[in-house]
Chain A
Amino acid sequence: MDLVVEGVRQALVLLFGGDGEVWSILLLSLQVSASATLISLLIGIPAGAALALARFPARGLVVSAVNTGMGLPPVVVGLFVTLLLWRSGPLGAYEILYTPAAIVVAQAVIASPIVTGITLAAVGQVPREFRLQLLALGASRPQMVWMVLREARLPMLAAVMAGFGGIISEIGASMMVGGNIKGQTRTLTTAMVLETGKGNFDVAIALSLLLLVLIFLVNWALTTIQQRRVL
């Protein structure tokens, strides 16, 4: 018990005692995961909407693939992104392995199916009759799709939460493609693994508190939007 109490005390000292390293790790994690979430929204929303509205022969197969993708193990993604970005790999020429950009790529790969799957479900909940009504009021197809997305905007916030939540706390891929390089690619989760391994529980506890507070704040903001229906 002492270990925990002392850990928390040390953590607070680290956070508010002028040590900049913890905060810079937090900032990097936030930047990387926010960028990856943004990319996954840009990919997942159109893909999910298209899958929900279009009818084509292999649709069932694609939907199953997306649902499988929602549970992609981060280490598997880490492995394949590493292979892609490896110096001799197909994208090796960009030389981004072991940079924050590599982590963004891997996290975007993890989050995109999550956003796609939830968008698919959210758009699918908007009744077909509503789409017909929009067309009957003179909507062009793009206008109709836009209105359907607008109508599904509240359940789609869940896509943002699930996407961001899934990657901010992810470790396997960040470790593999980022390398946990101090001051460069060290994120909250990779730092926690390292510090816990070294027995620096105070630092690990400080990081874990930050991570929890961060996830809480993001979800609280989105939940507030959802419940007050400000959108």
Chain B
Amino acid sequence: MKPAVIALTDVGVRYGGVDVLDVPALEVFEGEILAVIGPNGSGKSTLLRVVGLLERPTRGAVRFHGTPVDARRSLAERRRMATVFQQPLLADMTVAENVTLGLRFRGDAIDEARVGRWLERLNIAPLRDQRARTLSGGQAQRVALARALVLEPAVLLLDEPFSGLDAPSRAELLPDVGAILRQDRVTTILVTHDRGEAQALADRAAVLMGGRIRQLDHTARVFHAPATEEVARFVGVETIVTGRVIAREAGVTVVEVAGRKLELAAAARVGEHVRVGVRPEDVTLMLPTEVAPLSSARNYLTGTIVQLIPSTPAIRVVVDVGFPLVATVTARSVADLGLAEGTPVTAAFKASAAHLIGLGRTVSG
């Protein structure tokens, strides 16, 4: 494994007697993008400030390339990092002056070619001499990103950098940033409450809740094999039910839940009680009269719609199949199928879409 650029050991932050952060260990490796996800107020930004040497933890040690560092003394190490916040927080000067701000703090000679290159990469070269206060939100955040990236930091810290943007700006910026980070292999910590951003950008994801890391694993594993029910709910698993493993055959685990048999791809011992989670977007609904389309779905459950919950971008439909199963369906499909409360439907999902939630399993790293 590559060496850790950042290592936290037994780090805790307390505000007024309340623990807001408690991280026994966390390492960030060279070239990786680590997403720190969690609900609002879970300590994500505090963690980022501690790593960025902007705040001293109440206890514990922060190491940068193996050397212990301190927020008050380690200016040189702080200058090897750069943070972009939710708000662009540009200074009242031109775009170019903003972008060179960090270089000037360091007393570096301004390499115009390098500045120009970063303005190009973030598609803001034509804005070069414009005053920062005249920019749109999306443009301003591009300037903020260029201002951090031009420093070519050893660690880039992103604190909800896309959250303040309108949807179209966000949709444009996200892939641009992703491309830059992958191409340059910038070691990055991305703090976000948005699961989609983590899935789109991160190699690994840490789920932070109540100041503690509940799961830290490859992003796909966090989303597909959540360690706890809490994590599962946060990563978008809406249906969580308890069942008992009754058979294990041909790589398929059969779990009995409320009298229904569910087939799972994940392995478990016969007789074991397990928690099974299903994401609503993995569930397809059809009318019972419909012929099941050719698909790899192994689970077909008949039931009745008990609730339609409008949300974005799709409508969430709760189906009683012996237990409440949540599916997301487009508004178009709801209209086409004539779905309403009381409508009998068949819900289908693949064996690989039913996840085992690691009851009491240890957090893997």
Contact = CB atoms under 8 A, between A and B. Distances in A.
Interface of A: 127, 129-130, 132-140, 143, 147, 150-151
Question: Which of A130, A135, A147 has the most CB atoms of chain B within a 10 A radius of its CB?
Answer: A135
A151 B82 CA distance: 21
* Majority secondary structure, B binding face: mixed
16 contacts: A130-B89, A133-B83, A133-B89, A134-B101, A134-B105, A135-B54, A135-B78, A136-B54, A136-B81, A136-B85, A137-B83, A137-B101, A138-B75, A140-B75, A150-B91, A151-B91
Given A140-B105, A143-B105, A129 B82 contact: no
Given A137-B147, A138-B105, A143-B105, A132 B82 contact: no
Contacts of A151: 91-92
Nearest to B104: A143
A137 B75 contact: no
Interface in B81-122: 81-83, 85, 87, 89, 91-92, 101-102, 105-106
Nearest to A132: B54
B283 to A, nearest CB: 41
Interface of B: 49, 52, 54, 75, 78-79, 81-83, 85, 87, 89, 91-92, 101-102, 105-106, 147-148, 151, 157
A148 B215 CA distance: 40
Contacts of B81: 136
Which of A138, A139, A147 has the largest count of B CB atoms less than 10 A from its CB? A138
The 5 residue pairs across chains A and B that have the minimum distance between CB atoms:
A136-B83, A138-B79, A137-B102, A133-B89, A138-B105
Contacts of B75: 138, 140
B75 to A, nearest CB: 6
B105 A139 contact: yes
A150 B92 CA distance: 9
A138 B102 contact: yes
Given A132-B54, A151-B91, A151-B92, A138 B85 contact: no
Given A137-B151, A150-B91, 17 more contacts: A129-B85, A130-B91, A132-B85, A136-B157, A137-B82, A137-B101, A137-B102, A137-B148, A138-B75, A138-B79, A138-B102, A139-B105, A140-B75, A143-B105, A147-B101, A150-B92, A151-B92
